[in-house]
Amino acid sequence: MATGILLLMYYRPTEAAAYGSVQYIISEVPFGWLVRSIHAWSANLLIAAAAIHMFSVFFLKAYRKPRELTWVTGMVMLGLFMAFGFTGYLLPWNQLSFFATKVGTEMINVLPVVGDVLMRTIRGGEHVTGATLTRMFGFHIALLPAITTIAISVHLLLVQRQGMSTPLIDRPPRQMPFFPNFILRDLMVWTIVLGVLGTLSLYLPLELGIEADPIASAPVGIEPEWYFLWMFQMLRVFPASVFGLDGRLIVFGVVGLLGFLWILMPWLDSKAAEGRPSRYLQYAGLLLMIAVLVLTVWAKFFHHS
């Protein structure tokens, strides 16, 4: 958030100036390159951390009663973090982000009834234009932060009220004081993450690429950010039409249904509430995690369109 505020000092959310302003930030502004790089990398690490946290909560059954709402708010936050990534991706207004946004928003059009309206609302019109950029900027710096603040507050409040969950093991875990033990461990992890962030920012800075040209043909190898790749890959490999139904609609339907069941997990997993983990659900969760990982790796490294 701090790096985002710093970027706001120079970033200009218009079709004509967006790319130039980012170029100015990384080439002229003192430490601008570092601020942008940390902003982008910390966003990626945040989503990775949230995904790991989600699966650890699932496997440790930390969502069981009375923490159902904590799980739901956590899921909402993960969705919000991904929305941050999606809206922020277009902001540099480069060729790759432009066409990825075009493809990404086109997918929404598949949804029955609301698809077209939703796509036009997100795009600010029929096509991806400067209006889309302004809209994404608005979502990224105002709407999403506001909702996220509420979600984080509720999440932390619930954690504070209900305390940390303990795993379903025979012997209760050992205990330590919050201060200084927990704080010091937290500080140690923070320092390591900062070191990793600095290393990634220096050696793997996010490339700006070339400025978006709406009338140019789409470049080869357009793909969304890594956390959307598993779904992107599903859409790529799924047949375009099955029994007359749009293949993309089927993928969205399946993913949507699984997501819905995932959110309802605290209520579906009745055994966890009784303190007994369900073996089948554990396997299902493991299978889901492996599927997401395999699809992501496949899309990133092995799919040649």
Partner 1 sequence: MGYRNGTFSPIAFAAIVLLLKVAIGLPAAAADDDMRLRADQGTDQEGTTSSCITCHTVLEGPEAEEGVVHDFGLSTHSDAGLDCSDCHGGNPDAPADLESFDYSASKGPGTGFRGAPDREDVPAFCGRCHSDAEYMRRFAPQLRVDQEQLYAVSGHGRALSDGNLQVATCVDCHSSHRILRANDPRSTVAPNRVPATCLGCHSDSSVMSASGLSAGIGDEYRSSVHGAALLEHGDLGAPACNDCHGNHGAAPPGVNSVSAVCSQCHVSTAADFQASPHGPIFEMMGEPACEVCHGNHAIGRTSDAMLEAEGVCYQCHVDGDQGSTTANRYRQELAILGASISEADSLLEIAHRKGMEVDEGRYILRRAENSLVQGRAAIHTFNVDRLTEIITTGQEIATESAAFGSAALEEFARRRGGWQVFLLLCVVVVAGIWMLLRRFEAPDGPFPIRDPE
Q: Are 93 and 19 in contact (CB under 8 A)?
A: yes
CA dist., res. 12 & res. 301, Å (int): 34
Neighbours of 60 (CB within 10 A): 16
By beta-carbon proximity to partner 1, the closer residue of 62 and 144 is 62
Binding site for partner 1 (CB under 8 A): 23, 26-27, 33-34, 172-177, 180-181, 184-185, 187-188, 191-192, 194-195, 198-199, 202-205, 207-208
By beta-carbon proximity to partner 1, the closer residue of 9 and 176 is 176
State in angstroms the smallest separation of the CB of 177 from partner 1: 5
CA dist., res. 263 & res. 41, Å (int): 27
Determine the straight-line distance between the first and last CA of the chain, rounded to whole angstroms: 36
Crossing angle of the two packed helices 68-90 and 247-263, in degrees rounded to 10: 140
CA dist., res. 244 & res. 241, Å (int): 6
State in angstroms the smallest separation of the CB of 172 from partner 1: 5
State in angstroms the smallest separation of the CB of 36 from partner 1: 10
By beta-carbon proximity to partner 1, the closer residue of 79 and 209 is 209
Q: Are 23 and 7 in contact (CB under 8 A)?
A: no
State in angstroms the smallest separation of the CB of 85 from partner 1: 21
State in angstroms the smallest separation of the CB of 183 from partner 1: 10
By beta-carbon proximity to partner 1, the closer residue of 175 and 305 is 175
- Closest by CA position to 284, among listed 59, 62, 72: 59
State in angstroms the smallest separation of the CB of 162 from partner 1: 18
Instruction: Give the three-state DSSP class for 246.
Output: strand
State in angstroms the smallest separation of the CB of 211 from partner 1: 10
By beta-carbon proximity to partner 1, the closer residue of 153 and 166 is 166
By beta-carbon proximity to partner 1, the closer residue of 204 and 294 is 204
CA dist., res. 283 & res. 67, Å (int): 22
Burial environment of residue 142 by CB neighbours within 10 A (0 to 12, 13 to 18, 19 or more): exposed
Structure-block tokens of residue 94: 């480069």
By beta-carbon proximity to partner 1, the closer residue of 22 and 43 is 22
